[in-house]
Amino acid sequence: MLTRDQVLDELELLTTVEHALVVEHLTVGCALGHDLLPEEGGATSDAGRDGASTASSLAQDEMRHLRRLNEVLVAAGRSSRMDRAVEILDASGASVPLEPPTADQLADLLGREKRIGVAVDEHYRRLLPAVTTAPVFEGDLLEHVRSVVEGGPTHTDGYLRLRDALGEPVPPDVLRVTRREPAESFEERLLGVSDRLYRTVLEALGHRFAQTDFFVAAAFGSLAVDTMMGPLDDSLRLLVQRGLLPSFNP
């Protein structure tokens, strides 16, 4: 039996996990070539293109989870969370890494995504009794938390979508970018620009979730979306064209 505070503590943890999963899927999309043409560093096969598109869609799904979790936390009297988890524990207590994947981890892409998906869904399912058979909230807040918790265990399905797009085993040439270290100063500056834009998005979202004034929150939300879909996404494309993964340094 979980108490109200224990449920909110777990939702705070899941908020940081969902942030990590946004970065995870954006990184996978870049590794698969983003949406670039083959001659620009993009996918050279249908599997690669489908995989990159699926990773982008999954990143958007995680952004929605991140938003809804933060809205629940604020409604329950907690602060919004924009920090990022580096791991999550699975049912056995083993650590499942959530830092942006290395080249070796990308080589076992489907195995990694399956472990992450199963572990995250387990955390959501542990909360189900607290919003169904043994509720620890009341009224509108209960309905709000229940909607988030019941809609949370989708991450294993996300792994299956990526597996269906890429095929199993994953074709050996589907990964277009795995390098993380910049080769020279120009690439260092590109990474720096990308990281600053990423941090701008985080700061804007933090203000958006913390604001009680609808119009101020909407303005910060627009800033976050415009930055993410515009200059940040463009910077990711440039990095992929250079054969370099973004660092997403928070």
- Structural tokens at position 188: 């260092």
- Point out the domain boundary residue: 154, 178, 202: 178
User: Would you say residue 180 has pLDDT above 90?
Assistant: yes
**How would you label 62-99 residue by residue, b for 16+ Cβ within 10 Å and e otherwise?**
bbebbbbbbebbbebebebbbebbeebeeeeeeebbbe
Please tell me the predicted confidence (pLDDT) of residue 38. Answer: 96
Please tell me the predicted confidence (pLDDT) of residue 172. Answer: 83
Single-letter code of the amino acid located at 84 = R
Please tell me the predicted confidence (pLDDT) of residue 152. Answer: 96
Give me the count of residues in the chain: 250
Burial class (CB in 10 A: 0-12, 13-18, 19+), 130: buried
Mark whether 210 and 95 lie in a shared domain.
no
Mark whether 20 and 57 lie in a shared domain.
yes
Q: Over the stretch 119-161, which tens digit does the pLDDT of each residue have?
A: 999 999 999 999 999 999 999 999 999 999 999 999 999 999 9
136/91 Cα distance (integer angstroms): 23
**Residue 211's pLDDT band (boundaries 50, 70, 90)?**
confident
Domain that holds residue 243: 179-250
Mark whether 218 and 125 lie in a shared domain.
no
Q: Over the stretch 67-80, which tens digit does the pLDDT of each residue have?
A: 999 999 999 999 99
Nearest to residue 38, comparing CAs of 26, 52, 18?
Answer: 52
Q: Over the stretch 219-248, which tens digit does the pLDDT of each residue have?
A: 999 999 999 999 999 999 999 999 999 999
Mark whether 104 and 125 lie in a shared domain.
yes
Q: What is the average pLDDT value for the chain, to the nearest integer?
A: 96
**Residue 101's pLDDT band (boundaries 50, 70, 90)?**
very high
DSSP at 130: G
Mark whether 40 and 121 lie in a shared domain.
yes
Return all residues near 77 (Cβ < 8 A) that are at least 6 apart.
none
Mark whether 169 and 196 lie in a shared domain.
no
User: Would you say residue 217 has pLDDT above 90?
Assistant: yes
Helix, strand, coil percent values for the chain (each to nearest 5): 65, 0, 30
Please tell me the predicted confidence (pLDDT) of residue 86. Answer: 98
Q: What is the reported pTM? A: 0.96
Mark whether 161 and 38 lie in a shared domain.
yes
User: Would you say residue 212 has pLDDT above 90?
Assistant: no
Please tell me the predicted confidence (pLDDT) of residue 1. Answer: 86
Domain count across the chain: 2
- We report the CATH number of the domain holding residue 31 as 1.20.1260.10
Please tell me the predicted confidence (pLDDT) of residue 136. Answer: 97
Please tell me the predicted confidence (pLDDT) of residue 118. Answer: 98
Mark whether 160 and 228 lie in a shared domain.
no
**How would you label 219-246 residue by residue, b for 16+ Cβ within 10 Å and e otherwise?**
ebbebbeebbeebbbebbbbbbbbebbb
Q: Over the stretch 12-54, which tens digit does the pLDDT of each residue have?
A: 999 999 999 999 999 999 999 999 999 999 999 999 999 999 9
